[in-house]
Chain A
Amino acid sequence: MAFAAFATTEAQPQTARRKSPIALFLLLPGILYLVLFFLTPLISLILTSLQAPSEFGDIGVYDYAFNWQNYVAVIESYWPHILRSFGYALLATVFALLFSYPIAYFIGVKARRRPLLQSLLLVLVIAPFFISFLLRTLAWKQILSDESLIITSLKALSLLAPDAYFAGTPFAVVFGLTYNFIPFMTLPLYTALERLDTRYLEAGSDLYANSFTVFRKVTIPLSMPGIVAGTLLTFIPAAGDYINASRDFLGGPDTQMMGNVIEANFLVLLNYPAAAALSIVLMAAILVLVGIYVKRSGTEDLL
C-alpha cells in the first residue's frame, strides 16, 4: 500500500480496440435481417408515398412517380388527426408516467428487501400481457359503455351526471392508451429505480434537503434513463396506435388518430400513396420530437 502512495494517479490511456473479422461475421445475420425487413420496406414505403394514380387504371392502381404533392395533400386534409395523435400520445405518456413512477418506486426501492413481494408485484405489472391487447381493450369498452354496471352505478349514486358518457370520447381513448402502455413505462422505470443507490438519498437529506427536494434533485435525475426509456416506449407506439382510437374499440368519429386514417386510406379507400405519405410523416415527426426530447433531457451521459 505504502509504496503505491507515490505512484501516479492518472488514468491509464485506453488501449485501442482491435477490429476483429469475427465481430463483423457475428453482425452479419443482424445486418441482413435489417436490410431485408427494415430497409427494403422503408424504401418501398417512400416510393409508394410518391406514386401517382394510374392514368387509365382502376381505383387503387398507381404508377411510380415523384408526386410529392401527396405529402401536401395528406397534411392538408389530416392535420387535425396528426395533432390529435401527438396530443393523445403526450397525454397518455404523462398519465402513464404519473401512475407508473410510484409503482416502480415502490417495487424497485421500497420492496427491495422483500424479493418475494418484489417478484409478485412485477408479475402483476406484466400479467396483463398474458391476455391479448385487443381483448383487454374490448373489456374496457364494455366497462366504459353507457349501460355498464360501473357507469350506471355511478349515475345512480349521483357521482356522475345523468347524461354523462365515456364511450367514444377522447377521455376513453386517452384512458385506453394510458392503460395499455403502463407496463412499458413501469418496467424501464423499475430497472432504473432498482439500481438507485439509496445512499445518495441519505446524502441528500444529510445536506439539508427535505424529502421533496431529495426527490426532485436526486431521485428524478438518477432515474432519468428510466424516464426517457419509458416515455419513448410509451409515446412512440401510442402516437401510431389505431386500436384504442378505433370506432370498434374506445374511440368515436371525433377521436380518430393517424393510425386510423392510415388504416382507412390503406384498407378502405385504397389510397396507398396517401397512407404511405402519412406513415412517413408520422415517422419523421416522431424522429424529430424524440430527437429534441433526448437532447433536452440531457441523459446522454447517463444512458
Chain B
Amino acid sequence: MSIREFAESGADLELVGIQKRFPGFTAIEELDLTIPAGSFFALLGPSGCGKTTTLRLVAGLEEPTAGRILIGGKDVTDTKAHQRPVNTVFQSYALFPHMSIIDNVAFGLKRRRIGDAESKAHEALKLVELDHLAQRRPAQLSGGQQQRVALARAIVNRPALLLLDEPLGALDLKLRRQMQLELKTIQEEVGLTFLHVTHDQEEAMTMADTVAVMNKGAIEQMGAPEELYELPRTAFVANFLGKSNLFTGDVVGTTDTAMTVDAAGHRITIATARAQRHQGLVTVGVRPEKVTLHAEQPDEVAGRNLLGPGRVIDVSFAGVSTEYIVAVPGVATISVFAQNMSFGPVAHEGSEVWLSWDVEHGFGLSDEPDESSRFPADADTQSIAVQRREALLTELEGS
C-alpha cells in the first residue's frame, strides 16, 4: 500500500515476539498481539507498564530489540516512521508551534502530495468543531482545543492504523464524551483500525471492542470489556479494572459446579467454571456492586455466600451509589457499592452488618497468592510516582 493514497480500510496489526530493552531496564518482556482490521483495541495499564513504548514501536519511533511488526500483513519492522501507514495522536499533542492550525492539519497530506490538502484539512477541523480557529497558532488554543486539533491532524490522513496515546486526557467530561462518540463514529464509518493506549479503565471499557490489560511489559489479560470485568484472571486485572474484594484461602472442596475456599474460617463458594485454579491456596473475589448489605443476620440460602457480622468503618456517598467499607474480623476489609434506592445511606459508620452475594458472581484468580494476600493497587498515585522515579533513574543511569 502506498502512502500516497488514503487507506481504503483499516489494516490488521500483528506484533510477533516483540521485546524492547532500554539500557538498564526492559520495557517490554515478550509481546505477541494481533489486532484485527477495523477493530477498536485498547491497551490499558498503569504508567510505566510499556503501553506507550508499544505504541511508539508500532509508529516507528522506537526500534524493537527483537521481534517483528506487521501492518496489513506487511513487515514494517525495518521501515522508518514516515514510511508507515500509521498516524499517532500524541499525548503531548506535539502541534507544530510555528504553524497555523490549518497548516498543522494539512502537514501530513502535503507530505504525501494528496491533492486538495487545504479543503480536506478544513473538513477535518469541522469534524472537531474548530474550523473557525484555522488561522490561529497552537499556543492561542486551550489544552482541549489543542487535543482536538491533534486528533484532526491524525484523522485527516485516513491512516490504516490510528494510534491514540491518551488522546482525551485534557478534555473536560462533556467534550470527552463527545470526542469518544466522534472517534467511535469515525472508526465505524471508515473502518480504520484504532489502537488506543490509556490508563483510564472507564474510557477503555466504553470505547474498545477488545481491551488488553498490560502490566510490567506483558499483557495480563485480553478480551471484551465485559469479559475482563466480570471474570478477571489475575489480581492485577481485578484491581486495575474497577474494584475487587479478594479472599485468599485453601480449597476445601470442589464439585462439578462449585468450589469452596476456606478464608480464615469463613467458607466462600464460587462457581467452578469461574475459577482458574482448583487446588491449593487460591484467591477468589467478588465485585463490590455484587455484594448485598444486610442490617440483620439473614438466613443461610443455598447459592449465596454469607459473611459477617462485620462493622461498617466508612461510608462515602457518591450520588448514584454509596460505598460502604466493611471490616469483617479475621477476613478482610470489604467494599460494597449499594445503589441509593432510598434517600441516604442504609447503614452508618459503626453499625453491624452482614454481607451476601451470589455464588455465581464470584471469580477465582490464576496467580499464586504471594505472602501478602492483600494486593496493593498498582495504579495509585504513589506507586505511579515511584515507578516514574525509577524509570527516570534507570534512564539517567543508562545514558
A218 close to B (CB within 8 Å): yes
Among B61, B144, B175, the residue within 8 A (CB) of A206 is: B61
B294 close to A (CB within 8 Å): no
Interface residues of B in 163-188 (CB under 8 A from A): 172-175
| Majority secondary structure, B binding face | loop
Q: Are A207 and B111 in contact (CB-based, < 8 A)?
A: yes
Interface residues of A in 199-254 (CB under 8 A from B): 199-200, 202-211, 213, 217-218, 221-222, 224
> How many of chain B's residues touch chain A, expressed as a range?
20 to 34
B132 close to A (CB within 8 Å): no
Q: Are A221 and B98 in contact (CB-based, < 8 A)?
A: yes
Q: Are A209 and B111 in contact (CB-based, < 8 A)?
A: yes
Q: Are B81 and A205 in contact (CB-based, < 8 A)?
A: yes
Q: Are A5 and B87 in contact (CB-based, < 8 A)?
A: no
Whether A203 contacts B97 in the complex (CB less than 8 A), given A5-B175, A9-B142, A208-B112, comes out as no
B158 close to A (CB within 8 Å): no
Among B107, B172, B175, the residue within 8 A (CB) of A207 is: B107
CA distance A202 to B98 in the complex (A): 16
CA distance A207 to B153 in the complex (A): 9
- Of B88-96, B304-312, B380-388, the stretch lying at the interface with chain A is B88-96
Q: Are B81 and A202 in contact (CB-based, < 8 A)?
A: yes
Q: Which residues of B contact A268 (CB under 8 A)?
A: none
Q: Which residues of B contact A199 (CB under 8 A)?
A: 90, 92, 94
Q: Which residues of B contact A301 (CB under 8 A)?
A: 137
Count of A residues near B, CB < 8 Å?
A: 30
Whether A205 contacts B96 in the complex (CB less than 8 A), given A1-B172, A5-B173, comes out as no
Q: Are A203 and B90 in contact (CB-based, < 8 A)?
A: yes
| Majority secondary structure, A binding face | helix
A23 close to B (CB within 8 Å): no
Q: Which residues of B contact A224 (CB under 8 A)?
A: 98
Q: Mark B75-118, 1 if CB is under 8 A from A, else 0.
A: 00000111000111010101111110000000110011000000
Q: Are A210 and B61 in contact (CB-based, < 8 A)?
A: no
Among A1, A114, A202, the residue within 8 A (CB) of B173 is: A1
Q: Mark A90-132, 1 if CB is under 8 A from B, else 0.
A: 0000000000000000000000011000000000000000000
Q: Are A208 and B82 in contact (CB-based, < 8 A)?
A: yes
A6 close to B (CB within 8 Å): yes
A159, chain B: closest CB distance, angstroms: 39
B288, chain A: closest CB distance, angstroms: 21
Q: Which residues of B contact A114 (CB under 8 A)?
A: 399
Residue in B108, B111, B137, B142 with the greatest tally of chain A CB atoms within 10 Å: B111
Q: Are B175 and A205 in contact (CB-based, < 8 A)?
A: no
CA distance A6 to B173 in the complex (A): 9
Name the residue of chain B whose CB is nearest to the CB of A113: B399
Name the residue of chain A whose CB is nearest to the CB of B143: A9
Q: Are B174 and A6 in contact (CB-based, < 8 A)?
A: yes
A203, chain B: closest CB distance, angstroms: 4
Q: Which residues of A contact B86 (CB under 8 A)?
A: 206
Name the residue of chain A whose CB is nearest to the CB of B59: A206
B193 close to A (CB within 8 Å): no
Q: Which residues of B contact A203 (CB under 8 A)?
A: 88, 90, 94-96
CA distance A193 to B173 in the complex (A): 37
CA distance A9 to B172 in the complex (A): 10
A161 close to B (CB within 8 Å): no
Q: Which residues of A contact B82 (CB under 8 A)?
A: 205-210
Chain A residues with CB under 8 Å of chain B are 1-2, 4-6, 9, 11, 113-114, 197, 199-200, 202-211, 213, 217-218, 221-222, 224, 301-302
Between A and B, 19 residue pairs with Cβ closer than 8 Å are A1-B172, A2-B173, A5-B172, A9-B145, A199-B90, A200-B97, A202-B61, A202-B94, A205-B80, A205-B81, A206-B59, A206-B81, A207-B82, A207-B153, A209-B111, A213-B111, A222-B96, A224-B98, A302-B98
A11-B142, A202-B94, A205-B82 known; 4 other A-B pairs, CB under 8 Å?
A: A5-B175, A203-B88, A208-B82, A210-B82
> Which 5 residue pairs are nearest across A and B when measured between Cβ atoms?
A5-B172, A203-B94, A207-B108, A113-B399, A208-B111
